[in-house]
Amino acid sequence: MDQFDPAKFIEEKVDWLRREIAGNAITALSGGVDSSVTTVLGFKAIGDRLKAVFLEDGFMRIGESKRIVEIFSKLGLKVEVYDVQNEFIAALEGIRDAEEKRKVFRETFYRVFSRIAKSLKAEIVLQGTIAADVVETKGGVKTQHNVLEQIGINPLERYGFKVLEPLKELYKNQVRELAKVLKLPDEVVYRRPFPGPGLSIRIVGEVTREKLDIIKRATLIVDEELTDIKCFQAFPVLLEGKATGLSKNGSRKYGYMVALRVVESEDAMIAKYVKLDWGRLEKVRDRIIDEIPEVARVLYDITDKPPATIEFE
Ligand code: XMP
């Protein structure tokens, strides 16, 4: 394979987008490196005929929309935030099965985008799909929320817009190279991947508002405590079921179980668990137990991929 040349790739894709987009387009921006690079390529190609749309879908991390708006405004680019969390949470509430959650998330996601595209008179949606998303869906491991073609859906017929995916053949490390060349800030270039369906798939089993609130608080703690750890991803997962523990006053409590997942990986296809320092683990454990009284246990996942996957769902 030819050596990957980020500058040449950018030039070619910007040209391609310019040729493909005659009118307006929107970009589905989550703030991760893939969608951020896609968004910048889109702006380079068609300027303000592109609208960057961030969906506050209820499964994003605390403070995320504000952060993304700030990062992009420093680059001179405007991001529109659409608060659609009630619609998403209502759609997912009560669903237990992981693939069913992805399916419902996907349908809600495209339905919302269809509405937004219509209102902005856009016929094209740019997405930051990368090779791993496509490969995993084709392999039948997990149906990523952003892959339509592989599951036989024609977005134009079903949702009224065409999807363009300029990064479809790339892997994560190549996308990071593009992000560097495009002068995105380091916090975007080296951002750890976050799944499209967000925290909905970090609650094992049924999604409820209570569980969502717990996983959001736990995620904030893990992000604060483990930002400097060299790893591909570091996140908590809210497990199904409860366990016995003791509350601060010594009485019995029956609380949730949180698993921590910290992995090293190049491209998410294979991953190794990270041998975190015990002191670090204890700090995270203490904060979760102290600050989230609904939680009774914190566990550490030492499974690699394979045999496990990175996410629990
Ligand atoms: P797994 O769990 O399959 O994850 O080992 C591989 C990588 O993909 C992310 N992931 C997803 N990303 N939609 C996404 O956009 C999804 O449904 C999804 N499921 C997993 C995961 O965080 C990891 O980086």
Tens of pLDDT, residues 11-51: 999 999 999 999 999 999 999 999 999 999 999 999 999 99
For 112-134, write each residue's pLDDT tens digit: 999 999 999 999 999 999 998 88
Q: Both tokens of residue 142?
A: 């997990």
Given a cut of 90, is residue 74 above it in pLDDT? yes
Predicted local distance difference test score (pLDDT) of residue 149: 78
Residue 194 CA, closest ligand 1 atom number = 22
Give the mutation target among 136, 175, 203, 265 for probing the ligand 1 site: most ligand atoms within 8 A of CB.
136
For residues 180 and 153, the model is more confident at: 180
Instruction: Enumerate the H helices of 139-244 as residue ranges.
Output: 155-159, 172-181, 186-189, 209-226
Distance 79 CA to ligand 1 centre (A): 25
Q: Quickly state the pLDDT bin for 76 (edges 50, 70, 90).
A: very high
Q: By alpha-carbon position, which residue is closest to atom 9 of ligand 1?
A: 195
Q: By alpha-carbon position, which residue is closest to atom 10 of ligand 1?
A: 195
Residue 297: what are its φ and ψ, rounded to 5°? -140, 145
Distance 133 CA to ligand 1 centre (A): 7
**pTM for the full model?**
0.93
Q: Which helix (H) or strand (E) holds 3?
A: none
Q: What percent of the chain has pLDDT over 90?
A: 89
How many CB atoms are closer than 10 A to CB 61? 17
Rounded to an integer, what distance in angstroms lies between the CA atom of residue 238 and that of residue 280? 19
Beta bridge partners of 25: 50, 124
Q: Under the phi-then-psi rule, with left for phi > 0, alpha for psi from -120 to 50, and beta for the rest, what region is 204?
A: beta
User: Nearest CA to 107 among 148, 164, 135, 137?
Assistant: 148
Q: Quickly state the pLDDT bin for 260 (edges 50, 70, 90).
A: very high
Distance 195 CA to ligand 1 centre (A): 5
Distance 305 CA to ligand 1 centre (A): 12
Q: Quickly state the pLDDT bin for 1 (edges 50, 70, 90).
A: low
Beta bridge partners of 55: 82
Residue 35 near residue 127 (C-beta atoms within 8 A): yes
| Average confidence (pLDDT) over 287-312 | 98
**3 state SS of 196:** coil
Q: CA 151, 153, 154, 156: dihedral to nearest 10 degrees?
A: -130
Predicted local distance difference test score (pLDDT) of residue 134: 82
Predicted local distance difference test score (pLDDT) of residue 246: 95
Separation of CA 72 from chain center = 17
Average pLDDT, the chain: 95
**3 state SS of 285:** helix
Predicted local distance difference test score (pLDDT) of residue 221: 98
Q: Which helix (H) or strand (E) holds 27?
A: strand 24-28
The type of residue at 301 is: D
Residue 5 near residue 179 (C-beta atoms within 8 A): no
